[in-house]
């Protein structure tokens, strides 16, 4: 089997005024994604997605990566990965060049699955579990009156939908964060698992201040307390508060992730399949995490392709340390309104009462809605 073409698509739509939202780093007023199809001479097409600046990803893929992989066998994913990585290694070992590789790599795994008739988790060595524990990512801010009240209502909606775990966005100022988390915890009771995510809005001393005050609200993890470059800051925060520290969505490849793991900056590593280097690279990071006995949960943000890819990873993660009753693997389910997540494909996951069950279809297990691509493609 040979790769005969790659078609990349940038899709975009503006969010209506009432659906615009912010996190600690800025506002979202539109949705933009870069997805691609890797086309083979056998008629099998694999789909992939990158996380990050879609226009730049498209340019890198079209101008640099595509010529390097035409004619290659999609089963040679390791060779293709190393070829693409070394082609731009001297000009960037992180960021957009790796995000663009991620999209291609995911598509290769989709092809391998479709060719063999197997779901990707099977190709990764099998599913270690039948279900994943979904957690709702939401609680973005909209600068509305009664914002805290609205966030409490949002928590109730997720619980009504079956979620047993919620992740609250913080990083809006120490007092504001405490007020929000306190209100939500008091409203939902002690049974629901609750995490917080600052998207690196703090320096270490302020992150410690927030963390210490959050301890009383039984926080399952504190995500990205400090910027990804500040490894010493991570260690400082981790050593000074009594909440597990998570991070890694803004780190790239095994080379970038290794310091977070080896220096024990975090308790939970969260690579994103669409950014870290795809499924091929994610698998190596899992080995690194296993060696160091660090929990690994995939970060997921994007369309149904990203969601499907992250879900296959979730099922394939080994239990470590091994024990009779290993903890649930947590899977991120973004709940912000997103046409690309909800309508780009047939359902990428089977969600039932707060858990995600296995999708046994080949490859990523999704059917892409090409009419949606036509409707939203801008370049
Ligand atoms: Mg995050």
Convert the pLDDT of each residue in 106-139 to its tens digit: 999 999 999 999 999 999 999 999 999 999 999 9
Q: Ligand 1 centroid vs 299 CA: distance in angstroms?
A: 7
Same domain for 28 and 159, yes or no, is no
| Confidence check: pLDDT of 346 > 90 | no
Within a domain: residue 363? Answer: no
CB 376 within 8 A of CB 12: yes
Same domain for 282 and 308, yes or no, is yes
- Count of structural domains within the chain: 2
91 is catalytic: no
Q: Ligand 1 centroid vs 25 CA: distance in angstroms?
A: 11
Q: Which residues surround ligand 1, an ion (CB under 5 A)?
A: 197, 223
Q: Ligand 1 centroid vs 67 CA: distance in angstroms?
A: 34
Q: Ligand 1 centroid vs 166 CA: distance in angstroms?
A: 12
Query: Domain residues for 42?
Result: 3-117
Q: Ligand 1 centroid vs 377 CA: distance in angstroms?
A: 27
Same domain for 30 and 99, yes or no, is yes
Tell me what the mean pLDDT of segment 315-322 comes to: 94
Q: Which helix (H) or strand (E) holds 106?
A: helix 96-116
Tell me what the mean pLDDT of segment 166-189 comes to: 98
Of the candidates 9, 57, 200, 299, the residue annotated as catalytic is 299
Tell me what the mean pLDDT of segment 45-57 comes to: 98
% of the chain residues with pLDDT over 90: 98
| Confidence check: pLDDT of 266 > 90 | yes
Same domain for 148 and 268, yes or no, is yes
Within a domain: residue 241? Answer: yes
Same domain for 66 and 144, yes or no, is no
With a CB cutoff of 8 Å and minimum separation 6, the contacts of 17 are: none
Q: Scan for tokens 């109730």, then name that residue.
A: 156
Same domain for 199 and 245, yes or no, is yes
Comparing CA positions, the residue from 127, 142, 138 lying closest to residue 165 is: 138
| Confidence check: pLDDT of 262 > 90 | yes
Same domain for 169 and 285, yes or no, is yes
Same domain for 203 and 163, yes or no, is yes
- Residue-level pLDDT at 324: 94
Question: How far is Cα 73 from Cα 7, in angstroms, rounded to an integer?
Answer: 17
Same domain for 235 and 295, yes or no, is yes
Same domain for 56 and 18, yes or no, is yes
Average pLDDT score over the chain: 97
Same domain for 43 and 166, yes or no, is no
Same domain for 82 and 156, yes or no, is no
| Confidence check: pLDDT of 348 > 90 | no
- Residue-level pLDDT at 320: 86
- Among 117, 139, 170, residue at a domain's last position: 117
Tell me what the mean pLDDT of segment 308-316 comes to: 98
């Amino acid at each position: 089997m040979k790769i005969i073409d790659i078609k990349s698509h940038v899709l975009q739509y503006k969010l209506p005024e009432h659906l615009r939202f912010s996190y600690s780093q800025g506002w979202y007023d539109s949705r933009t994604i870069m997805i691609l199809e890797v086309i083979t001479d056998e008629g099998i097409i694999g789909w992939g997605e990158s996380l990050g600046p879609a226009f730049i990803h498209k340019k890198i893929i079209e101008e640099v990566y595509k010529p390097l992989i035409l004619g290659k066998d999609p089963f040679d994913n390791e060779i293709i990965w190393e070829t693409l990585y070394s082609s731009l290694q001297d000009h960037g070992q992180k960021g957009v060049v790796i995000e663009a590789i991620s999209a291609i790599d995911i598509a290769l795994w989709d092809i391998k699955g479709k060719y063999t008739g197997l779901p990707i988790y099977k190709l990764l060595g099998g599913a270690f579990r039948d279900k994943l524990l979904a957690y709702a990512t939401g609680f973005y801010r909209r600068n509305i009156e009664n914002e805290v009240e609205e966030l409490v209502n949002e928590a109730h909606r997720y619980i009504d939908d079956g979620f047993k775990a919620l992740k609250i966005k913080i990083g809006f100022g120490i007092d504001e964060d405490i007020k929000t988390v306190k209100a939500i915890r008091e409203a939902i009771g002690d049974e629901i698992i609750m995490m917080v995510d600052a998207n690196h809005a703090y320096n270490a001393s302020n992150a410690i201040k927030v963390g210490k005050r959050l301890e009383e609200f039984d926080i399952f993890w504190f995500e990205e307390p400090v910027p990804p470059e500040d490894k010493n800051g991570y260690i400082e925060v981790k050593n000074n508060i009594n909440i597990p520290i998570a991070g890694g969505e803004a780190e790239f490849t095994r080379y970038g992730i290794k310091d977070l793991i080896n220096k024990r900056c975090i308790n939970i590593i969260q690579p994103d399949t669409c950014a870290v280097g795809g499924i091929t690279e994610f698998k190596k990071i899992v080995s690194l995490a296993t060696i160091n006995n660090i929990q690994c949960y995939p970060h997921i943000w994007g369309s149904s392709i990203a969601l499907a890819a992250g879900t296959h990873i979730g099922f394939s993660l080994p239990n470590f340390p091994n024990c009779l009753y290993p903890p649930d693997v947590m899977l991120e389910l973004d709940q912000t309104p997103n046409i690309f997540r909800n309508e780009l494909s047939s359902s990428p996951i089977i969600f039932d009462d707060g858990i995600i069950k296995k999708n046994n279809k080949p490859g990523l297990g999704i059917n892409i809605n090409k009419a949606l691509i036509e409707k939203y493609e801008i370049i």
